[in-house]
Chains A and B, each alone.
Chain A
Amino acid sequence: SQTIHQWPATLVQPVGSPLSLECTVEGTSNPNLYWYRQAAGRGLQLLFYSVGIGQISSEVPQNLSASRPQDRQFILSSKKLLLSDSGFYLCAWTRDGSAEAFFGQGTRLTVV
């Protein structure tokens, strides 16, 4: 069966510090991978998506970046966090020809 792992679950970081969130998928190959951010009481804002290794599409200009070093690994990074980067970050994957998206449990990031 397919599973998706996302960590850490909670993170408190000072302004200006770096960030690295990791997401891995098991049980499938060549998934489409996504990073979303959700502010309190708001919908899911698509940040990045990837249809293959090294292929990253950015949806929102910001100080975040994403990388896909392996087929089933998706990393969200920042060199210097801003207060506005606080939020709930979700990783997800889909498969071509299938509707369902599978989500990780999310990372709640607080920048202080």
Chain B
Amino acid sequence: QKEVEQDPGPLSVPEGAIVSLNCTYSNSAFQYFMWYRQYSRKGPELLMYTYSSGNKEDGRFTAQVDKSSKYISLFIRDSQPSDSATYLCAMRKWEGGKLIFGQGTELSVKP
């Protein structure tokens, strides 16, 4: 079983739609939960992070963590064509150690 599971998609939505991206994990020692965005042929860029259960909002983006279910989500409101990219969830422990990524979900927002 992989430590982090993410549906690779691809996911195609019309402009203005609400997008929901999800990951599940198996290691209860993970403390940091992150979402990265990656454009083609570039390194990933951090979108949001959280280290507790609940919601965290930043503009059109909301990150949600449910530690009891080992499940994290990223919601994108009023999606734009510029949001088209691959979105990767990532997790790590508090100190040192592995930084594990999900497989990434390829998102396409159509005008």
Q: Please give the residue numbers on chain A whose beta carbons come within 8 Å of chain B beta carbons, in ascending order.
A: 32, 34, 36, 41-44, 46, 49, 51, 57, 59, 88, 90, 92, 94, 96-97, 99-101, 103-106, 108
Enumerate chain B residues within 8 angstroms of A104, measured Cβ to Cβ. Answer: 43
| Pick from B43, B49, B100, B103: contact of A46, CB under 8 Å | B100
Report yes or no: A96 in contact with B96, Cβ–Cβ below 8 A. Answer: yes
Find the B residue at minimum CB distance from A91.
Answer: B43
Enumerate chain A residues within 8 angstroms of B64, measured Cβ to Cβ. Answer: none
> What is the CA–CA distance of A104 and B43 in the complex, to the nearest angstrom?
6
Enumerate chain B residues within 8 angstroms of A43, measured Cβ to Cβ. Answer: 6, 8, 88, 101-104
Report yes or no: B99 in contact with A51, Cβ–Cβ below 8 A. Answer: no
Report yes or no: B103 in contact with A42, Cβ–Cβ below 8 A. Answer: yes
Report yes or no: B49 in contact with A103, Cβ–Cβ below 8 A. Answer: no
Find the A residue at minimum CB distance from B90.
Answer: A101
> What is the CA–CA distance of A102 and B90 in the complex, to the nearest angstrom?
13
> What is the CA–CA distance of A100 and B34 in the complex, to the nearest angstrom?
8
B71 at the interface (CB under 8 A from A): no
Give residues of chain B (95-109) contacting chain A, Cβ–Cβ below 8 Å. 95-104, 106
| Pick from A42, A49, A90, A100: contact of B98, CB under 8 Å | A49
